[in-house]
Amino acid sequence: AQKVTQAQTEISVVEKEDVTLDCVYETRDTTYYLFWYKQPPSGELVFLIRRNSFDEQNEISGRYSWNFQKSTSSFNFTITASQVVDSAVYFCALSLTGNQFYFGTGTSLTVIP
Amino acid sequence: DGGITQSPKYLFRKEGQNVTLSCEQNLNHDAMYWYRQDPGQGLRLIYYSQIVNDFQKGDIAEGYSVSREKKESFPLTVTSAQKNPTAFYLCASSIDGRTRYLYGYTFGSGTRLTVV
């Protein structure tokens, strides 16, 4: 069964628009971790954030913010005032303490100047 | 700066030939991994190694082989038995296999393999 769903395959926005990337996960574990990675055209996945299941506080880092809601099993990622450099593929991932790691299929974001 | 180096960036192979992808890390990480990325399918684990001279199959190991003779190096061989080898291959590492779930991965910049 798929553990992480990123329903948005591709998104295009015009520069300076806000955009939200959705991530829905599935697990019965009470302890787990959620990650977001960015894959720019260069290919390397870059770590953005990690959140554990006991910390539901939203987080803001510059133009990036993350909304973690256990009630809906979602960990959504919002980019405010998008820029061309934000164009990339973004992956959401779920890790379990049994050392299992699940990636979503990724969302390709294109920011049009 | 510490990181993971994958080479080459682009690789072309004729059908029926084996090819080896290089992965080197200077992060002093114990665990290393190989992932395959195909459009629309996300990342799929091929092999991983938690310690030198030991490795385990991932979800799609058929047609691939690895070795871990040194902590820093984890080369992947794509053999002629791999039916559809054209893909983007990512090497990754973690501090150790036990804490991967806590800290996630550091990734290399990938090798794009094309079978011609």
pLDDT tens for B83-108 read: 899 999 999 999 988 888 888 899 99
Whole-angstrom distance, CA of residue A112 vs CA of residue A11: 11
Distance CA(A106)–CA(A5), nearest Å, equals 9
Q: Six-digit token pair at A92?
A: 């959401």
- The residue length of chain B stands at 116
pLDDT for the residue A97: 83
Q: Cα-flanking dihedrals φ and ψ of residue A71, to 5°?
A: -60, -30
Q: Which of A100, A57, A64 minimizes the C-alpha distance to A83? A: A64
CB-CB: which of A35, A43, A47 is closest to B88? A43
Cross-sheet strand order for the sheet of B19-25: B4-7, B19-25, B76-78, B64-66
Residue B59 to chain A, least CA–CA distance (Å): 11
Report the C-alpha gap between A6 and B90 in whole angstroms.
Answer: 20
Integer angstrom CA distances of residue B113 from A103, A110, B16: 21, 24, 14
Which chain B residue shows the shortest CA-CA distance from A108? B40
What residues of A are in contact with residue B43 (Cβ under 8 Å)?
91, 103
Per-residue confidence (pLDDT) for residue B103, from 0 to 100: 84
**Structure-token pair, residue A77:** 């990622």
pLDDT at B39: 85
> What average pLDDT score do residues B64-89 get?
95
Confidence band of B29 (pLDDT split at 50, 70, 90): very high
pLDDT beneath 50, residues of chain A? none
Q: Provide φ and ψ at B103, rounded to 5°.
A: -110, -10
In sign, the C-alpha dihedral spanning B86, B55, B107, B1 is: negative
Residue A100's pLDDT is 84
* Closest Cβ opposite residue A96 in set B45, B97, B101: B101
Which is more confidently placed, A58 or B51?
Answer: B51
pLDDT at A1: 57
Tokens 């990123």 -> residue: A6
Q: What is the pLDDT of residue A2?
A: 54
